[in-house]
Chains A and B, each alone.
Chain A
């Protein structure tokens, strides 16, 4: 099985936020929930780079480790998903996550955050593939349709890559060789314990 990963090529990312709205569009994500976001480092300075970030679907995902109710599971494609029926909205995963992926309807007091929501790598949740129940809770399931996450598919400059980790690493490696520079595979070391060596 493929080992699905995300890779944001910071030398291509222009903070156009297509990934953000594509995600909103595909899953009808409500206001205040940002399954994906773009952060700009060194904003306004010559070193500036933007990076699109969402759940990285980590190896040994820390969210899954800390979840007191074990609502996370990893699919055959190495996608980290969770079960909203089990989730109690405790917020632990959001504090364990190095990437700020878990989202809640509100970060409100008394822990009334609501059920956690996060990037599903466009692959739904524990309900039957492509069912209405699945869409209602988790959004679309593109993987089940043989498609990849829409954020990456719609990325304006093809900065955001999604797919099998080996393949996208190879694409990135080739780019770096072609252009003679690279900014690194952002988040890979933290998420997967390794990085793309060029």
Chain B
């Protein structure tokens, strides 16, 4: 069978062999490889024909088998599954990629993107050195000059328009440490205008789920789906978006003969492997779910014991879904009643059942309500908190969970502490910086537009502008934006500019900015969409393969990525760039004082380990405290000891990882020394909390409408409190007499945090106690630190406490808009949301008549996100060379459109149009079109290749779907409407 590569061959061959090998291993460039392999003519000619010409600066040659190979492990930088990447490195060059057999997550496998990541650190389409635009031309500059000029301009803008006029747009591609650093940097700069891609992928999930049962994350894991008997995918095309997860899903399907039910407007690659495919109209999820609940309650399929013990408010849901009988749901959603009944029965009775959703559910004006509806379906059937059940939320980018956790968010400090004074004080303590320092950094906001003025202290607690609206905040009347001034500068790290709708407006916004800085391995749409001539900078950042750091997969497991090679060209890592910029901006020394500084390419930078240790010191609320760099590295080194299904290291595992769950999925309570194993399944009462069990988190008060919000008759096994209980505070410990279990050290910390004041000492809780003592004591008594509460079926603090169907802003069914209107216009995150006005105008102007086709969007397996990185990788780019629109055969025939022919897709706003290829297919139904969202570089028929710096243009360019997509924002999170709009298609 398989024999691993021998690394001793050099020694065996002796000296002469080494000399000979040295001779034969002359560096081999691509051209000579091609020549030698007889592939020269076509290979290069073909590359030439796609523009730009690919010539490589330096090419990794073949593996030299006479020399030692060093194996380094990192994590794939694409989706959230968290596949381990095993790199073979020789002489500092990444020469080969091997299967990572031992990773319990991917077991050696990859998708197209993961199998081609090696190219990323060779790719000559990367940004090679800092650049700036001078009179419309890109010019090479040095790092010193770049930092100097960008810093000066930022300070000048701050002086003129305030700290809030600089927008810090971060990335889900950051490591945890990078994400944390950027959030910390925004805090030191003095703004909450800091965001990242979670806004546009799962912000509504986080809001919806956290508001239901406590934490905004996947409750179970990809691996755990192997235990499911029934799975519903709704708005998730996992086969293309999370291909490696299908390994677990399909094996689970086979072994358990599980039901795989796919709800999707489009017959996807995932649907092809379903046992039942249900087509429905985009944007009608709530009607569908309420329709399912109607059947469940009608037939008594709900889990009454579970509901009485662990859920609050389901009776109100039971009443509310009476408005969704089968005929109503069919009228709204296209789904026949008997189909819905069959699915409801299977889901409710063939348990354990899991519900999987993705951006098909979240990217809507009703995104948060959609998520809440999904949760209610799970709760009603008792499918949360056990193996094989749960809300298996498949997140998007490789570290979007981690970046969300670490507070790259307009409404949170790291680890969901919020923006309250308590939160600021907590982090001030962790950062060892006076609270008042931050107050001094924030703007005072004058009273504008009839709104109250805000002090700096108040402004600190007001969520910033969401990334979906940044360009509105640039362009809108200054009266309308609830901060000192409009957005004047964008500092964009690792974030595409083609990922939110209304790109015509985004282009105007880019043109109007005083300063635009793009820090990225590739020039993104932010670098190319606009016609800016000056004050535009490109900073080459290396990928996560060129720096150490941890990342959190969708299942909350943290994995340590090892630097594989040094940053290529003149690129540098996130930490270094943020450090140098912070120093320039005047707060670097203060911000970085707790970190160990190590030598890098262009000076010192903070080590990832020391940043993670600071996160460990402050991340109590979410259990980010136990995952020390040492433990994470031990997990990576001992992957083979973790079980495929339970993710647990068995008794044979080395002591350092024994009994741990792989990657210490958060919450991993207490200090690293406490050795909490992490929590594979959230809210699992079948396991002692100290061994990874939990309960729903009571974070919405203790009672509502005279009913308790604490669990009744349900507690994690081994609990010394055999009932519900609130979160642990010093006061509760004292009440229970458990404060005696605190060590002297822990007590001293708690007293320090309480400033010696009794009330404040009593108020020190599991989430603010920096010693971890309160968590430790609670856990040792079998209790969950955050308490044991009920999940909420009704979230009274949300605009729609009970999810109700609301028509999309641009509805193909204007007759339904009256009965199911979108929410009234409102202000949110410092901006107006005029969704209702837009919807009414659409109905009045009969938009649906001129734009009769519903347009939805989604993902291709070969590309990711805005796509610059993947479209620059020839191994991937070759597989999808043209932007396209999927159109049904019948619609195509009616329009004289042929498969592969050029078409114009026109949108409902601003005369938007896109020239793309037609893909005539039955995947979409008549009246529905689909476009992938990874393309950019063409804008309404214009080829913008010339806007990219020479040699850094992606190989494949195409129109962006978000030129066509339209207005619409979730009232809770500002999530855009990316999945339902109207369009027209005609042959070009």
Contacts and interface: CB of A to CB of B under 8 A. Distances in A.
A105 B922 contact: no
A21 B112 CA distance: 5
Interface in B872-897: 874-876, 878-879
B243 A18 contact: yes
Interface residues of B, number: 75
Contacts of B119: 25
Interface string B223-262: 0000000000000000110011011001001110100000
A30 B36 CA distance: 13
A140 B921 contact: no
B118 interface: yes
Contacts of B54: 31
Given A15-B861, A106-B46, A178 B255 contact: yes
A74 interface: no
A96 B174 CA distance: 50
A41 B243 CA distance: 19
A133 B65 CA distance: 12
A24 B97 CA distance: 11
Given A21-B875, A148-B2, A179-B257, A32 B109 contact: no
A25 B861 CA distance: 17
B257 A180 contact: yes
A114 B39 contact: yes
Nearest to B47: A31
Contacts of B876: 21
Nearest to B889: A44
A123 interface: no
By size class, the interface of chain A is: 35 or more
Contacts of A115: 37-39
Contact of A18 (B5, B42, B45, B115): B115
Contacts of A140: 62-63, 96
Contacts of B879: 17, 20-21
Interface stretch (B265-273, B391-399, B534-542, B545-553): B265-273
B243 A156 contact: yes
B62 A156 contact: no
Contacts of A145: 3, 5, 65
Find the residue from B25, B240, B254 having the highest chain A CB count within 10 A.
Answer: B254
B34 A14 contact: no
Given A25-B119, A45-B922, A17 B109 contact: no
Interface in B1-54: 2-5, 24-26, 28, 30, 32-34, 36-47, 50, 54
B111 A31 contact: no
A138 to B, nearest CB: 7
Contacts of B107: 158
B875 A25 contact: yes
A132 B62 contact: yes
A157 B246 contact: yes
Contact of A105 (B42, B61, B115, B861): B42
B692 interface: no
Nearest to B50: A31
A24 B116 contact: yes
Interface in B273-309: 273, 277
B5 to A, nearest CB: 5
Interface in A2-54: 11-12, 14-22, 24-26, 28, 30-34, 43-46, 48-50
Given A140-B63, A156-B244, A31 B109 contact: no
A49 B62 contact: no
Contacts of A15: 239, 269, 861
Given A28-B33, A105-B40, A140-B62, A22 B922 contact: no
A173 interface: no
Contacts of B38: 84, 87, 89, 105, 114-115, 117, 137
A84 B109 contact: no
Interface string B817-842: 00000000000000000000000000
Contacts of B247: 156-158
A130 B240 CA distance: 35
B269 A30 contact: no
B242 to A, nearest CB: 9
A154 interface: yes
B886 to A, nearest CB: 8
Given A14-B243, A18-B115, A21-B875, A43 B42 contact: no
B216 interface: no
A132 B25 contact: yes
A190 interface: no
B110 A31 contact: no
A88 B43 CA distance: 17
A11 B106 CA distance: 19
Contacts of A135: 61-63
B273 A11 contact: yes
Interface in A52-105: 84, 87, 89, 104-105
A155 interface: yes
A108 interface: yes
A146 B250 contact: no
B246 to A, nearest CB: 5
Contacts of B44: 30
A43 B269 CA distance: 9
Contact of A24 (B96, B277, B875): B875
Contact of A114 (B41, B50, B118): B41
A41 to B, nearest CB: 10
A47 to B, nearest CB: 9
B718 interface: no
Interface string A142-153: 000111101001
A105 B44 CA distance: 9
Contacts of A150: 97, 99, 115
B510 to A, nearest CB: 32
B114 interface: yes
B37 A117 contact: yes
Nearest to B861: A16
Contacts of B112: 16-18, 20-21
B269 A114 contact: no
Contacts of A178: 254-255
B184 interface: no
Nearest to A160: B109
A155 B33 CA distance: 27
B28 A136 contact: yes
Contacts of A28: 30, 33
Nearest to A176: B254
A195 interface: no
A106 B47 contact: no
B807 interface: no
A154 B99 contact: yes
Nearest to B6: A145
A21 B37 CA distance: 19
A108 B30 CA distance: 22
9 contacts: A15-B269, A43-B923, A108-B42, A117-B38, A132-B26, A150-B99, A157-B243, A158-B109, A179-B254
Interface of A: 11-12, 14-22, 24-26, 28, 30-34, 43-46, 48-50, 84, 87, 89, 104-106, 108, 112-115, 117, 130-133, 135-138, 140, 145-148, 150, 153-158, 175, 178-180
Closest A-B pairs by Cβ, 3 of them: A105-B42, A115-B38, A146-B3
Given A17-B112, A21-B876, A30-B44, 9 more contacts: A14-B239, A14-B272, A15-B239, A16-B111, A25-B97, A50-B272, A105-B42, A108-B42, A140-B63
